[in-house]
Amino acid sequence: MKKAIGQYNVKFYLKAIFDKRYKSLESGNPIFDQFMTDYRTPDVVNKFILSNIDDVLSEREEQIYITSESSIEVKINQDYAEFYSDLANKTSDFTLQTIDFKKIAQAWKVYLSEGIVL
């Protein structure tokens, strides 16, 4: 997990908004960051991200599309996960290997499950 996280400069941190602290993620790519932070609980990460990645990697599905709450779409196939702020644009805003996406999502899930209350 560390290699994928380091390769994409992913950092997990607490973000203060007014008088509350929220778990957040930063990678240097705002589209990817927003997509990931739209999934705020371990169960939701599991249900909507990890299970879909596993379906593609195990070849139960050839390709899957996921749309987050903020309308960021990701197209996942065996090799790559492509992130789009506008799928009609046909050019992805960010791309990473599917296996790396899975590792980052797993780390995000672990971080979300750790002690600090949201």
Query: How are the residues of the chain apportioned to helix, strand and coil, as percentages rounded to the nearest 5?
Result: 40, 30, 30
Predicted local confidence at residue 5, as pLDDT = 82
Predicted local confidence at residue 3, as pLDDT = 60
Residue matched to tokens 């070849």:
59
Q: pLDDT (tens digit, 0 to 9) for every residue of the chain, 118 residues total?
A: 556 688 899 999 998 889 888 899 999 999 999 999 999 999 999 999 999 999 999 999 999 999 999 999 999 999 999 999 987 888 999 999 999 999 999 999 999 998 655 4
- Angle of CA points 10, 16, 17, to nearest 5°: 120
Domain regions of the chain by residue span: 2-113
What are the Cα distances from residue 25, in Å, to 32, 38, 62? Answer: 9, 10, 28
Predicted local confidence at residue 44, as pLDDT = 97
Predicted local confidence at residue 118, as pLDDT = 45
